[in-house]
Structure 1
Amino acid sequence: MGGPDPAHHPAHTQGEYAVRCEWGPVGAAAIVADLGPRDLAVVVDVLSFSTTVTVAVAAGATVWPYRWKDDRAAAFAAEQDAVLAVGRLEARTPGSPPQARVSLSPAEIGAAAAPGSRFVLPSPNGATISAAIGEVGVPVVAGCLRNATAVARRVDAVLAAGGRVAVVPCGERWPDGSLRPAQEDWWGAGAILAALTAPVALSAEALAAADAYRAAGPGALAASASGRELVAKGYADDVAVAGRLDADVVVPMLRDGAFVST
């Protein structure tokens, strides 16, 4: 992933705080730059990468994040003897092969996952950020609303042992490729941060995420831009699955390139 842009002020690394929070791949690179094997990064992509990973791993599956959605992804899945998940709309294309019915949809992958299942999930946001952080030797877990308290307890344990934690709301992409901060990821990060009990200093950004989660009312996920987009496309089930706070106790950990149960 590399460190932050040297032109950036050191304040953007949030390095004086045990718990940091920043958006997207560039923000992730900044706040994990000084972290190592005793620390932790939490990747939050509520709609839907980290939710899909959590649902799959809770069912006993192993999930490889993958950066590219092209022929390289298919070849990588074959190497892992895994099923390549595709985009939601692609999975519903008439005449698609059986394996194409496994998609990034948390509701659909939840129906397909079972103990021993193996999936490759390409994603420009959650998967890309997870893989990049893992490559620099920082432990990575997938966090979302469904496992917020379980992840918070893992974060508390890391902090109690003297480690530091970076929480990364991934965001989405505008058509021009620029980062679109996605409110659901801010809430997912905030749900984890709000549940922490360790007596450590949180950055202003981490505190703001926790406050945003506390302020979110019932139905906020479905009312968000990302939620309304999925509902309009026929994926209301995904929004419902993603919004079930603490439905899972699993904390998917990236080990040897794949998310597994810990």
Structure 2
Amino acid sequence: MTSPYVQDGFAVGFDWGPVGAAVVAGDIVAVVDVLSFTTAVTVAVDRGIDVYPYRWRDETAVAYAEQYGATLAVGRSATGANGVSLSPASIRRVTGITKLVLPSPNGSTIAKQLSDGGATVIAVSLRNRQAAADWVTKQVQSARDGRRPKVVAIAAGERWPDGSLRPAVEDLWGAGGFLSALHSDDLSPEARAAVAAYDAVADELPTLLHECAGGRELTQYGFEEDVVIAAEVDDSDVVPVLVDGRLFRST
């Protein structure tokens, strides 16, 4: 019997977090972590920097960065010689690097998980939601095996102190914006709900992104510029694709 949770029978699906990503399988999966992993990725790739997702910022991350000759991002509030972190603003300012290991417990972890499972993984934020949708549409139309690839958007969400998933509305908007731009008539009910959430706020996004819990949190900790960058809707034309451990500009 098919699980009721897999959103079977629809060309486009949507779910939350690493568990949702494992359950709702897709051939092409858009990982959405607006504040801030996927926004940071788009800023990096805009600047010609390849991003290597990694879950933890620890000794294993140091070894991983050395393996690829990459710079390891520091903590957002930390100071370091490279001056680059998960903060999109720090990536926009940095010079002299072409490879960046970017640890993130949410978006980065999900991207790595999905790639290991064989899906085509792309990083999507509000900045590149239209470009990503255009790219995916071309991939679907050019499928050669006669089978239409299933497209899934995964909103990364955040974590409560007990480790449980905290659905983050900015990720719902980012996923919904991407799904809306697909213009598909075969959305699962969950995907339709995400599109409706985006459409309801599309004209107010810069303001609401600052006012949502995630935006207020970053502003409170002194990272309001990161929220401003995350609200650059459709400003980026890059579609970062995860291949062999790195997110880079798709051609």
Q: What TM-score do the two structures reach when normalised by structure 2?
A: 0.93
* Cα offset, 1:156, TM superposition: 1.5
Q: Which residue of 1 is the match for residue 71 of structure 2?
A: 83
Rounded Cα–Cα distance in structure 2 between residues aligned with 1:172 and 1:232: 17
* Cα offset, 1:157, TM superposition: 2.0
Residue 185 (1) aligns with residue 171 (2): yes
Runs of at least 4 residues off by over 6 Å:
none
Residue 68 (1) aligns with residue 68 (2): no
Q: Which residue of 2 is the match for residue 111 of structure 1?
A: 93
Q: Which residue of 1 is the match for residue 118 of structure 2?
A: 137
Cα RMSD of the aligned pairs, angstroms, is: 1.5
* Cα offset, 1:78, TM superposition: 1.1
* Cα offset, 1:197, TM superposition: 2.7
* Cα offset, 1:154, TM superposition: 1.7
* Cα offset, 1:155, TM superposition: 2.1
* Counterpart secondary structure, 1:205: helix
Q: 1:126 aligns with which of 82, 89, 107?
A: 107
Q: 1:17 aligns with which of 10, 16, 30?
A: 10
* Counterpart secondary structure, 1:151: helix
Rounded Cα–Cα distance in structure 1 between residues aligned with 2:140 and 2:227: 31
Residue 57 (1) aligns with residue 45 (2): yes
* Counterpart secondary structure, 1:195: helix
Unaligned runs of 5+ in 1: 1-5, 92-96
Residue 164 (1) aligns with residue 150 (2): yes
Q: Is the 8 A contact 1:25 1:170 kept in 2?
A: yes
* Cα offset, 1:125, TM superposition: 0.3
Tell me the percent identity. 47
Rounded Cα–Cα distance in structure 2 between residues aligned with 1:11 and 1:159: 25
Residue 259 (1) aligns with residue 242 (2): no
Rounded Cα–Cα distance in structure 2 between residues aligned with 1:159 and 1:16: 16
Q: Which residue of 1 is the match for residue 81 of structure 2?
A: 98
AA at the equivalent of 2:8: G
* Cα offset, 1:109, TM superposition: 0.6
Residue 242 (1) aligns with residue 227 (2): no
Q: How far does the alpha carbon of each residue in 1:156-179 deviate from its partner, in whole angstroms, 9 at most, with x for none?
A: 223323211110000000011000
Q: 1:47 aligns with which of 21, 27, 35?
A: 35
